[in-house]
Amino acid sequence: MHLADKLVVVTGGGNGIGRALCRRFKAEGAKAIVVADVNAVTAKQVADEIGGTAITCDVSREADVVALVKQAIAQHGGRVGQVVEKPERVISQPLIGI
């Protein structure tokens, strides 16, 4: 993966596969990693471990997802390069309309 200049957002990043992906993206050299999870405590634990940013987000709520993307961009600049959701799906195209 080419992640050196990318902002990566991982929903469900607070545990399990999402946590493992956050660690992997860190090892691959992502510019910034946002650990998004409905559980603020586990999101922060993973973010602290990898030097990322924790954002509490319930992906079943559209308003939370919009806020997640806006906050990630505001904090890290540029655009989101990778989104991993549920975490079995990777979106590599830009998020339009947010």
- From CA 71, how far away is CA 80, in angstroms rounded? 11
Mean pLDDT on 81-95:
55
Whole-number pLDDT of residue 5: 79
Whole-number pLDDT of residue 44: 98
Question: pTM, whole model, 2 decimals?
Answer: 0.83
Q: Which domains does the chain have, with CATH numbers?
A: 7-91 (3.40.50.720)
Helix (H/G/I), strand (E/B), else coil: 57: coil
pLDDT in tens, 49-64: 999 999 999 888 889 9
Q: Tell me if 53 sits within 8 A of 31, measured CB to CB.
A: no
Residue 25 Cα distances to 60, 64, 97, 98, angstroms: 24, 23, 26, 24
Question: Residue 91 pLDDT > 50, yes or no?
Answer: no
Whole-number pLDDT of residue 86: 57
